[in-house]
Chains A and B, each alone.
Chain A
Amino acid sequence: MSESLRPQEHIAAATLWQWRAQELGAGESAAVQQHLQSCAACQQRARMLGRVLHEMRARHHAAQPALAEQMHLLAALQTEFAPSQKSRALVSASQSVVRWLAPALAVLAALFVLWREETAASNSSLESLLAPSREEQVLMASDEETARQALMELAFSTEEK
């Protein structure tokens, strides 16, 4: 980037700038330093360039946001991006619903299972109560064959007892 340096020439301002910014390679940097030791004019220019760069940076970094600007920016961004109060309320309401809904559903499911089991048990005992006894089956037999079979079953059951 920097032009090659002849001893009798002054250093170009842009090269002095690179030297100040420590952007030169070791060889080029050594050549600039050697020249500066023997050239008062370039020494003065290097000093002044240092001052100009310092002033430039100082002026640049002097631009700082005031607290009011920060607050104003925050308010603007919140208006634009933060979730609105309405949606925040909706989110918190849905969160609390979810928080209560899961255990409530679990309890309801457990109750439903219990109810189903209870209903099945009572149905089977009711069926057994409503079913005709063996004696009634003999009496209720519609034909002779059925009556004989019912009588046989009654006899066997009486024997077993």
Chain B
Amino acid sequence: MKMPDHETATAQAENTEADLIAGCRAGEREALEALIKQYQPAVLRVCVSILGSREVEDLVQDVFIKILKKIRGFEGRAALFTWIYEIAVNHCRDELRRRKRRRWFSLHEMPQEALEQIPLDEISASEQIEAGEVRSQLRRALNQLTPKYRELVVLRDLEGLSYEEVAKISGLEEKLVKSRLHQARQILAGKMKRYLEEAPHV
């Protein structure tokens, strides 16, 4: 009996994913290359947007090391990409906690993300123009969100994942994801108020 096209495609994708997992478990170069090619961009994007900094190369590497250490125990209960997102998000949470502790111990230091958390009103109009207008404002607005809100905006609004997937990754009930995301969007829209209520400046 011939399988329908979409079922054939799903079966092929599952085979490819199974091959990829088996190859990674064996430490095969081709499998590692494929894993990096397929998932490094998403892991990098999530880390950059959650941590608010492009300096995440070491962090991305740590995420992949975690993935490969854990892949032996991957049972396929969730899709591989959801599982990888989950590891990346958890790693970002750990990193944010580490940074918070470090900041507490070195108060004289003011890292980039702290600079980005200065309220928008405290930055002069000319500085805002110099800083890169809407995108720059957005970066600040996103970084001003607390991590619990930020990761939901990143997964749902920026990565375009479904509510079900976001719930799995963040370990929250789908209902709670919806309600938190609604609050996050309200906060974000509030911070972007002048751009949402005035004619475009750029």
Contacts and interface: CB of A to CB of B under 8 A. Distances in A.
Interface of A: 1, 12-14, 17-18, 21, 41, 44-45, 48-49, 51-53, 55-61, 63-65, 69-70, 72-74, 76-78, 80-83
B178 A74 contact: no
Interface stretch (B73-81, B120-128, B183-191): B183-191
B192 interface: yes
B165 to A, nearest CB: 14
B94 interface: no
Interface in B59-101: 60-61, 64-65, 68
Given A49-B196, A52-B134, A56-B158, A83 B40 contact: no
A12 B187 CA distance: 12
A81 B32 contact: yes
A81 B159 CA distance: 29
B20 interface: no
A60 B190 contact: no
B135 A77 contact: no
Interface string B178-202: 1100110110011010011111100
B186 to A, nearest CB: 4
B54 interface: yes
Given A55-B135, A56-B158, A60-B154, A83 B179 contact: no
A13 B186 CA distance: 6
A18 to B, nearest CB: 8
B107 to A, nearest CB: 30
B40 A73 contact: yes
Interface residues of B, number: 46
Given A56-B158, A63-B45, A82 B54 contact: no
A65 B195 contact: no
A13 B185 contact: yes
B83 to A, nearest CB: 17
A46 to B, nearest CB: 9
Contacts of B41: 64-65
A56 B142 contact: yes
Contact of A48 (B33, B157, B196): B196
Contacts of B157: 21, 53, 56-57
Given A52-B195, A82-B27, A82-B32, A77 B65 contact: yes
Contacts of B152: none
B195 A59 contact: no
Contacts of A76: 61, 64-65
B196 A13 contact: yes
Contacts of B135: 55, 58-59
Nearest to A58: B135
B197 A45 contact: yes
B54 A73 contact: no
A73 B138 contact: no
Contacts of B198: 48
